[in-house]
Amino acid sequence: MSDPTVGSMATTPPAEQPTVAGGTAPPDSGLPANAKRDQPRGLLGDAWMDLRRKPLFWISASIILLFLVMAAFPSLFTSVDPTQGDLARSRVEPSGDAWFGYDVQGRDVYARVIYGARASILVAVLATLGTVLIGGAIGILSGFWGGWVDALLSRVADVFFGLPFVLGAIVILTTFNKPGSGNSYVKIVSLVLFSLIILGWPVSMRIMRSSVLATKQADYIMAARALGAGSGRIIMKHLLPNTLAPLLVYSTILVGSFIGAEATLSFLGVGLQSPVVSWGVMISETRDWVRVSPFLLFFPATFLVIAVLAFVMLGEAVREALDPKLR
């Protein structure tokens, strides 16, 4: 999933009006209003009750937690220095000493995979935060004010949405991150973040915009307006809580996509670069050795896939819990 913009179309359900659980059942569902639930709970409370029962949720949440710990305290998992290389043991196969073997430069693959979690997850989480905050805010403005504001912002979003994701990122990164320009770690990471966010925000914006459009017409918003609530209050108090669900689901899955996207860019040699350790960098380094030493690809790719999978699964679980139709 190297293109986070693709995912939005299939994984995000059309924005729906969240229905208050315990409210009226459809007229002929055969169950009276109070049959389904004894106590009315909020949408989120209800979703949480639903999530708690799902093994998918617990599995993915535990994996994510494990990766987060790995990213924060890699030394808990290994005492080997991931950058310490010894050419004498270049591409030595996995053994009892080094579970995952040694890479081309004789560095411990296990240690590198552990330390690689930090950059991969840091980039993905920060990029998701940026994307969702920027896209969400613009989406609210666009949906709430409509008219020319909406027209303008939507066209701007179209501009960035029309750019093929990988291609756009490559162009941005090669322009600002010329190879050999000796950019610092922080600068490279910020550049990767910048390119992911600038190409990713339109999707969040569209999701938010359409849920705002759907919710804006709701009776309780009309009521709030009729009672004289200001725009700011309506957005913060009424619109935001009721439109967050689709974006929340999308952002969970987006973390997964961005892990994949970071890896793809590193793989192409335009994203993070050695000496930074990330799964994408590792995979990129094995490019020429895949045929002779496939284990070099196997371990970072497996970690990468498990991490992406965990986020995608969590998103699925959350979506199912938040979407009353799927129950």
Residues that bind another protein (CB under 8 A): 1-3, 5-7, 9-11, 25, 27-38, 155-156, 158-160, 162-168, 170-172, 174-176, 178, 256, 260-261, 263-264, 267-270, 283, 290-291, 294, 297, 301, 304-305, 308-309, 312-313, 316, 325, 327
* Min dist. Cβ of residue 240 to another protein (A): 27
Nearer to another protein, 83 or 150 (CB): 150
Give the Cα separation of 323 and 327 in Å (integer).
7
Return all residues near 302 (Cβ < 8 A) that are at least 6 apart.
Answer: none
Nearer to another protein, 195 or 204 (CB): 195
**Burial environment of residue 180 by CB neighbours within 10 A (0 to 12, 13 to 18, 19 or more):** exposed
Give the Cα separation of 141 and 156 in Å (integer).
13
Nearer to another protein, 141 or 157 (CB): 157
* Min dist. Cβ of residue 288 to another protein (A): 12
Nearer to another protein, 10 or 88 (CB): 10
Nearer to another protein, 243 or 286 (CB): 286
* Min dist. Cβ of residue 83 to another protein (A): 24
Nearer to another protein, 25 or 234 (CB): 25
Count of other CB atoms within 10 angstroms of residue 118: 18
Spatial CA neighbour of 67 closest among 302, 265, 254? 302
Spatial CA neighbour of 123 closest among 23, 287, 262? 262
- H helix count then E strand count, the chain: 12, 0
Contact call for residues 166 and 234 (beta carbons, < 8 A): no
* Min dist. Cβ of residue 290 to another protein (A): 6
Contact call for residues 1 and 308 (beta carbons, < 8 A): yes
Nearer to another protein, 170 or 235 (CB): 170
Give the Cα separation of 189 and 163 in Å (integer).
21
* Min dist. Cβ of residue 307 to another protein (A): 9
* Min dist. Cβ of residue 199 to another protein (A): 10
Q: Residues 35, 37, 42, 43: is their CA dihedral positive or negative?
A: negative
* Min dist. Cβ of residue 249 to another protein (A): 14
